[in-house]
Amino acid sequence: MHITAANGTTPAPATTSLTACEHRSVGVIVQDAAGQYLMFEQATAPGIAPPAGHLAPYGEPEQAARALVAEQTGLIVGHLTPVTAGWRPGRYDRCTGVDRSGHYWHLFQTTLTGEVAPSVRAAGRPRWLMAHQVQALAYRTVDHAHGLITDEQFAACPGLAPVWVDLLATAHVIVIDDLDLALVEDLATRPPLTPASETPTQAVPVAVSGTVRARPDRLDEHGAAELLAETEAVRTELARTDAKAATVLAFAGTAFSVLAALSVLAPELAVPARVGLAGAVALLGASSAVALGVIRPSLPRSGPGTGFVAHAAVRDAEELLAVLADDPQARRARDIVHLSRTARAKYRRLRLAIDLAFAALAALAVAAVFAL
């Protein structure tokens, strides 16, 4: 089938031979009208990724992005939004030359409609995935980077291609810790898969920051109960944080109103007293604003979130059933991590609000000294 790119040019034919490599690649995050992401299983290495390829055969980055999407999907790209550009480490064994340590990536995003007609180069069947499904693929790659699944297991059921974990995190499609990103980056530069006969049958724990991280396939009954208890504990901490923030907000807000009125109604105060009073008012206002930030609903900027937020992101009841059919222990563990980070962030803001209130009291004390 002859495919013409959006700019009227014909994409360069695909090749599987080793070619001179300029270490420049283009990737395109493709979404449909429902917000799903188009993914393919890579042909050159285990991993799932959006449409991508080398820049060299096509010219400029935007021209290459349009041509690659047309070639790999059979669809014509309209508007392209640049997302990021930068060097990403990784092995590229199809490239000739000594340096195969990475590529300079140009990342774009677009929305397409129509039926995908993948080319031979696209290799695996196309799949439209919701954000939480892309996040699950990222978690599998992270597990691979931690040594929790073997090369052979990853090849049989791959997650995201390692370089795409970083790219999609940069585009706020997924959420990944900095430590996990560093390990995935290291995974991207590892040698190719070992032969199946040499691949260990069990995952080898990988040392991380001086500790050995290992995880059983499933927790026993006691471990599952502890996991459930931890989930309830972190939700309780979130509720306590909001209650404490409400108390701080009530105090700071009331004091702010009283002192603001006093600063207006008492112009005869000495200048140092008025300065101290104004400082106290400003600090109490800041404390109130920070406390409001604590009780403000926390919604994820990207990724599926947890609980009803994740459920609201699905398209229909069937997809919700598919999500709930995933490993409940792994899902609950991810919820604990997400909620714990939210609770920690709230406590940090709460501590700042209280510190600002204490500073306001100190400023008020100084003002009182000069007012006497």
* pLDDT value for 151: 86
| Of 57, 58, 52, the residue nearest 83 (C-alpha) | 52
Q: CA-to-CA distance for 199 and 261, rounded, in angstroms?
A: 74
Q: What angle, rounded to 10 degrees, do the helices at 131-145 and 178-188 form?
A: 70
Q: What is the pLDDT of residue 87?
A: 84
Residue 235: burial class (beta carbons within 10 Å; 0-12, 13-18, 19+) = middle
Residue 302: which residues within 8 A CB-CB, separation 6 or more?
Answer: 131, 172, 173, 174, 175
CA atoms of 142 and 63, how far apart (whole Å):
32
Reported pTM: 0.51
Please tell me the total number of residues recorded for the chain in this structure.
372
- In sequence order, the 6+-apart residues with CB closer than 8 A to the CB of 53 are 25, 26, 64, 68, 71, 72, 121
Identify the residue whose tokens are 């604590």: 294
- DSSP-derived pairing of the beta strands 24-31 and 102-111: parallel
Mean pLDDT by 10 residues, the chain (372 residues): 34 39 84 87 84 82 88 83 86 52 86 69 72 87 85 88 91 84 83 44 36 46 72 82 88 86 75 84 90 80 59 68 68 76 86 91 86 73
- Kindly report the backbone phi and psi dihedral angles of residue 49, in degrees, each rounded to the nearest multiple of 5, phi listed first: -155, 160
pLDDT for res 19: 43
CA dist list (Å): 314 to 131, 255, 303, 320: 9, 45, 12, 6
Residue with tokens 């490599």: 21
Query: What's the CA gap between 297 and 61, in Å, rounded?
Result: 39
What residue has token string 């055969």?
57
At 286 the three-state DSSP class reads helix
The DSSP secondary structure of 312-359, one letter per residue, reads HTSSSHHHHHHHHTS-HHHHHHHHHHHHHHHHHHHHHHHHHHHHHHHH
| Residues contacting 331, CB < 8 A, separation 6+ | none
DSSP 89: E
